[in-house]
Structure 1
């Protein structure tokens, strides 16, 4: 397999734009807008260029490239510290229990409360794979390479990491959750609000959203049943996140009601297990299938390969992986089992 993940560059703009047009809405981190995508790439360029190993409000964009053809087939993003430019809002689903002695009855009411609990967390998001490439484990390569990047630049990420999964979008491109909750207060449809958020940020939520909790029992049935539910295309992504140690803890997206998955950064499986290893051979013919990564910041690159672990932090890898990563004996790679 000749695919590798690398740092995005300014000349990737048109490739990103073409992929953004395929997302089908509800994908805030990849809006089909050249100006917004150009600003995202410019911000990523600044992050890749900053050499200080300390936490700051940054965004990294990675690109999936077929090294044999040069075709760009996917992308993903990492945000180091959310909620710094504007508040990071979520709904938190919780329960209020009340008891009446006269009636001898206990009533439990589920509520959605507008919160900024996750402010300061790092975020992995913006993962999109071209529809023609959704086989062969490339989605897993995109997803898990982000954790290798975090492990390799640990000081630049927070102690907690989150992932927002897209919620249920109907055949019209609308959101039952938006229609049942926020849409009642904003006078705009989901697509319009989602696009505005992607381009301008969500300060308008703070300006217009009622601050009192919303009782779930007062919502229509269509809105109720999608709370915390991922879009059908995101179910595999949710399982991958769970395998990495992420959990759904009642936080949902304020636009489409999709689940927000949260984990302690150092407890994420691929972060915890990733180790730097010295290459002793690049001619391995048979070995364990693994993810391999090398480089720092703008020189970061990752791919699948075969590995054989040696003693004292040594590794042998196959020739194709060595070629895709452009590494040789004596270089360092980070690796986790596939």
Structure 2
């Protein structure tokens, strides 16, 4: 395989724009707006170029490309600390239990409460794979390369990490959750609100959203049944997150009701099991399948390969992976079992 992940640069604007037009809405981190995407790439360039090896308000953008043809087929993002430019809102689903002695009856009601509990967390998001490339494990490469990037730049990320999954979108491009909850207060449809959020941030939520908890039982059935449910195309992504150690803990997106998955950063499997080693040789033919990465910040690259971990602490990989990553004997590489 000749595909690899690399750091995005300002020359990737058209690649991102063409992919953004294919998302079908609900991808806040990948709006189909050239100006917004250009700002995102400028912010990523600043993050990749920052010398101070500490956590900051950074956004990193990675690109999936064919190393031989230069063809771009996917993208993903990492945010080092959410809630810095504007509040990071979520709904928290919880239960209120009340008891009446006179009636000898206990009533349990589910509530949606507007919270900023997850502020300060790191986030993985913005993952999109071109429809023509949704085979051969490229989605897994996109997703897990982010965790190798975190492991390789650990001081730049928080101790908790989250991932927001897109919620259910109907055939009209609308959101049953938005229509049943926030849409009643904003006077705008889901697509308009989602686009405005992607371009301008969600401060308007703080300005207009009711601060009192919403009783789930008072919502219509269409809104109730999609709370915490991922979009059908996101179910595989949810399973991958669960395999990495993420869990749904009652947080849902304020726009479409999709689940927000969280984990302790150091307990994410691909972070915890990542191994750094000096490259001893590039002649492996039948080693362990792995994700292999190298570089620092804007020189980061990650690809599939074969590895052999040696007893002396070095590693050997296959020749094709070495070519795709542009590494040779003596270079440092990071790897995690596929």
- Structure 1 position 244, deviation (Å): 0.2
Aligned to 2:305: 305
Aligned to 1:85: 85
Deviations 1:114-171 (A, max 9, x none): 0000000000000000000000000000000000000000000000000000000000
- What runs of 5+ residues in structure 1 fail to find an aligned partner? none
- Structure 1 position 275, deviation (Å): 1.4
Q: How high is the TM-score relative to the length of structure 1?
A: 1.00
Output the CA distance in 2 between the equivalents of 1:248 and 1:108: 21
Aligned to 1:58: 58
- Structure 1 position 185, deviation (Å): 0.2
Deviations 1:157-202 (A, max 9, x none): 0000000000000000000000000000000000000000000000
Output the CA distance in 2 between the equivalents of 1:138 and 1:22: 17
Output the CA distance in 2 between the equivalents of 1:178 and 1:315: 50
SS at the partner of 2:226?
A: coil
CA RMSD, aligned part only? Answer: 0.4
Aligned to 1:129: 129
Question: 4+ runs of 1 displaced by more than 3 Å?
Answer: none
Deviations 1:234-256 (A, max 9, x none): 00000000000000000000000
Output the CA distance in 1 between the equivalents of 2:188 and 2:125: 25
Aligned to 1:153: 153
Q: How high is the TM-score relative to the length of structure 2?
A: 1.00
Aligned to 2:251: 251
Output the CA distance in 2 between the equivalents of 1:4 and 1:205: 38
Output the CA distance in 2 between the equivalents of 1:300 and 1:89: 31
**Residues 215-230 of structure 1: pairs in structure 2 closer than 5 A:** 215-230=215-230
Aligned to 1:38: 38
**For this pair of structures, how many residues does the alignment match?**
338
Aligned to 2:18: 18
Aligned to 2:183: 183
Aligned to 1:6: 6
Output the CA distance in 1 between the equivalents of 2:198 and 2:80: 18
Aligned to 2:97: 97
